[in-house]
Amino acid sequence: MTATHIVFERVGKSYDSVKGPTKALTGVNFEICEGEVFGIIGRSGAGKSTLLRTINALELPTEGRVTVHGTDPATLPEDALVQLRRKIGMIFQHFNLLSSKTVWDNVALPLRVAGASASDMRERVGKLLNLVGLADKAHAYPAQLSGGQKQRVGIARALVHSPEILLCDEATSALDPETTQSILGLLRDINRQLGLTVVLITHDMAVIRAICDRVLVLDQGEMQEIGEVWSVFGAPQSQASQAMLRSLKQGLPHEVVQQLQPTADTAHSHALIGLRFHDLPAGQGLPLAALQALEVLCRGTELIHGGLDHLQGHSVGQLIIRIPAANLTDAETMRQTAGADTLEILGYVQSH
């Protein structure tokens, strides 16, 4: 993933409303490489769909520009734009299938519109239905399909023109968790087999974790951070990233949260310490010797909560420990003893 495929140059987008111009995007500036799976995540209203649709000129920036292999879609005449859009497939949250047409006809429709021959349609549609695992459903109608099967039809249809880019607009939001994983696995397989650049938008960090190489966090139309998934997950820098990552992390025990105070009330209070590990050696865990060393340094250390995750060849995670406040030594010494990248005093609780 070295060649640049899509470039956003200070992209801004405004819409007119009765209250005046409304900003959907402001100064968005980044690049997507050929062949990567790139995720754009944000809450509802963050500007994700608007940003995605600037790639194929379904939305035109009011500031800056977007280029695909050096070409700005917004500057193209209609015929050239049609040709470019055929190289940019798109799948949607609600499938957008024609209920009156069979699976085969839904997939073949873009080829029919483009004037492809019957033999070309038979060959192309057959290959794509095999690719998405629906060869036996060619003559079924959408009403006879599950949600996951409908989305597979949508994916096959998006691939009929052998695109170089596949845009995914909340493609798994309407699916159950098990079906979501199967669709994400299919998208990753397509990315590897066909070398497509995949750009997906979602509000779900679990989707980003499962499939993406890099991720952009968008909030209120502005970039919050961008980076490899393991790095953003291991050490989120923005408040938006931290808020969305909370859904992936088991919280502190409820009874602990209720007792948590910003200062130590008594000499017998305990401090809650958060230790974050941003990049442990690939495939390795946290040596128990680190916790034993903490116990030597601060008598009465207890492990309250935590875990490690392995992403893209990196180990990241967090441990939360409880230490008698009276035994709390220099925080930097504790961090180094544990081998953690950062240490944070989360608060204090009463001893039992």
With beta carbons less than 8 A apart as the criterion, state whether 124 and 111 touch. yes
pLDDT at 288: 75
* Cβ pair 123, 115 in contact under 8 A: no
19: pLDDT strictly greater than 80: no
pLDDT digits (tens, 9 = 90+) for 185-210: 999 999 999 999 999 999 888 899 88
Residues 207-226 pLDDT 10s = 998 899 999 999 999 999 99
Helices 147-158 and 103-113 cross at an angle (nearest 10°) of 20
**CB-neighbour burial class of residue 235 (10 A; exposed 0-12, middle 13-18, buried 19+):** middle
Which pLDDT score, from 0 to 100, does residue 342 have?
81
Q: Which of 92, 20, 11, 94 is nearest to 57 (CA)?
A: 11
Strands 270-280 and 342-349: antiparallel
Q: What is the pLDDT of residue 163?
A: 95
Are 205 and 44 a contacting pair, CB within 8 Å?
Answer: no
Percentages helix, strand, coil for the chain (3-state, rounded to 5) are 35, 30, 35
Cα 185 off chain centre by: 14
Strand order of the β-sheet with 63-68 is 22-33, 4-15, 63-68
Ordered structural domains, the chain, with CATH:
4-247 (3.40.50.300), 250-349 (3.30.70.260)
Mean pLDDT estimate for the chain = 87
Say how many C-beta atoms besides its own lie within 10 A of residue 254's C-beta.
Answer: 8
Run of H or E including 186:
helix 177-194
Question: Which residue(s) pair with 315 in the sheet?
Answer: 280, 310
Given a cut of 60, whether residue 248 has pLDDT beyond it is no
The upper half-sphere exposure of residue 152, i.e. CA atoms within 13 Å in the direction of its Cβ, equals 27
Q: Coil, strand, or helix at residue 45?
A: coil
Concatenate the DSSP letters of all residues of 274-292 into one string: EEEEEEESTT----HHHHH
> What pLDDT is recorded for position 247?
58
Tokens 């470019």 sit at which residue? 84
Q: Which of 55, 58, 40 is nearest to 9 (CA)?
A: 55
**Residues contacting 253, CB < 8 A, separation 6+:** 304, 305
Q: What are phi and psi of 212, to 5 degrees?
A: -85, 150
pLDDT tens column, 69-98: 999 999 999 999 999 999 999 998 888 999
Q: Are 300 and 245 in contact (CB under 8 A)?
A: no
| Count of all residues that appear for the chain in the document | 352
Tokens standing for residue 176: 């159950």
Amino acid found at 224: Q
41 burial level (CB within 10 Å; 0-12, 13-18, 19+): buried
For residue 223, the model assigns a pLDDT of 95
- What is the number of alpha carbons within 13 Å of residue 89 lying toward its C-beta? 26
